[in-house]
Amino acid sequence: MKRFALCFLMALLLVQGIWTGGAHAAGVFDDTQGHWAEQQIEELANLGIVKRNSKHAFYPNNPITRGEALALLNRVFETAYGSLEQPQRKNNLDHRYLLRGEVEQLLVNMKAIWQVETNALSSYDPGDRMLYYLHLAESGQLLRKQQKENPDWWLSSEAMQRPLSREEASLILFHVLAPQKFRTANLKPQDAVTYFNSFYEWKQDRFYRDTYSPYPLAIREFQLFLTEKTFSPERIMTRAEYAVVMKRLLDYYRTDIAAQFRGTLVQQQKIAQLYLRSALFALEKNNQARLAAVFAPETLQTMATLPQVPKYNGPMTLTSKADSNDPKILWLIGHYLDPVNGDFQIEYKLEPDASSAFGRKIIAVLYSEK
């Protein structure tokens, strides 16, 4: 009987352990269970955008800081687009700030996608402007263009660790969505500076009755903040509130990417350029997770045997065409210029794939020398 009781107890503990483990696997954070934002937080955690920790705590009702907000924004961006460029040291940003690397990665990603959207013809830099206006907020000034800008402006580590207001959140989202604003406004690259200055000078119409700031209205079309008449610009954002906004942004990115692949030839070529830049950057950095998202396994093996492997930011002309047998399949033809080894061409065959962030996966490549 004692032996039977012992075996029964061990079996009971085993079952209990399985259920407890399952509960932790289903609920990443103990303090978000039953929270109104639980689903969005869990989805971001499963994608690696929100990091798990040993305490199983997310602190959903705590304020989100400026630096954390920018780091999460970059993780959302890279979940959709991947890394597009090597990070560069930003002298205006305090080197002591612990999340500086992720913020600097966001800045170069923003610049890369902006250059693709404007064909590198605009001098405007949305990432630089974003940090500058956060600097104004830190110094207690309106997020508005000054008569004279201090070229030695600087964001300290302390400033990056301060809570993020809703107006500041609208400001950073306005800048990260600058390529989409540029596209929908149907602007020429040379008009970009004037267009964005109209926001900095607060010449745009107001919409919310509790703020004259143009940034909440500027991002209203993206449905990130579901507010109607008031915006509460000075209210501090909680980590849960910001996570919900990030989930909406990720959903928007995925929808926008799919729409571009179905859009005009110009739109297809621009999103294809970002796709290849992300894929080749992952290849250069041996980012296995990203490579698995953009290349079929056999195609990745083929890429390793090519006589010449293109650089992610090397000189290239890109064209696209639909497959003659299947309109859902898209061919990207990259013509690469190599003055040392000679020019070459790679044709990439893309088919729809729901598992890829871009909604496409490279299933074959054809190499030829020119």
Alpha-carbon distance of 219 to 332, in angstroms, equals: 32
Residue 10, pLDDT > 60, answer no
> Could you read off the pLDDT of 307-334 as tens digits, one per residue?
998 999 988 999 988 899 998 899 999 9
pLDDT at 60: 97
At residue 209, the pLDDT reads: 94
**Averaged pLDDT for residues 68-90:** 97
pLDDT tens digits, residue range 183-212?
Answer: 999 899 999 999 999 999 999 988 999 999
| Domain range list for the chain | 35-54+62-261, 265-369
For residue 88, the cross-strand partners are none
**Half-sphere exposure (CA, 13 Å, Cβ side) for 33?**
11
Check pLDDT > 80 for residue 13: no
CA distance linking residue 85 with residue 311, whole number of Å: 11
85 confidence band (pLDDT: 50, 70, 90): very high
pLDDT band at residue 114 under the 50/70/90 scheme: very high
Measured CA to CA, the distance from residue 165 to residue 29 in angstroms comes to 25
pLDDT at 15: 36
Burial of 241 (0-12, 13-18, 19+ CB in 10 A): buried
Rg of the chain on CA atoms, in Å:
24
Q: What is the pLDDT of residues 207-242, one digit of tens each?
A: 999 999 999 999 999 999 999 899 999 999 999 999
**CB atoms near residue 16 (< 10 Å):** 10
If we measure between CA atoms, which residue out of 125, 151, 144, 153 comes closest to residue 198?
144
pLDDT in tens, 20-55: 333 344 568 999 999 999 999 999 999 999 988 878
The third-level CATH classification (topology) of the domain covering 265-369 is Nuclear Transport Factor 2; Chain: A, (3.10.450)
**Whether pLDDT at 166 is above 80:** yes
Q: At what angle do helices 166-176 and 126-138 cross, to 10 degrees?
A: 170
Query: Mean pLDDT for the chain?
Result: 90
Tens-digit pLDDT profile for residues 117-159? 999 999 999 999 999 999 999 999 999 999 899 889 999 999 9
Q: How far apart are CA 47 and CA 153, in angstroms?
A: 35
* H-run or E-run covering 75: helix 66-81
User: The whole model's pTM is what?
Assistant: 0.90
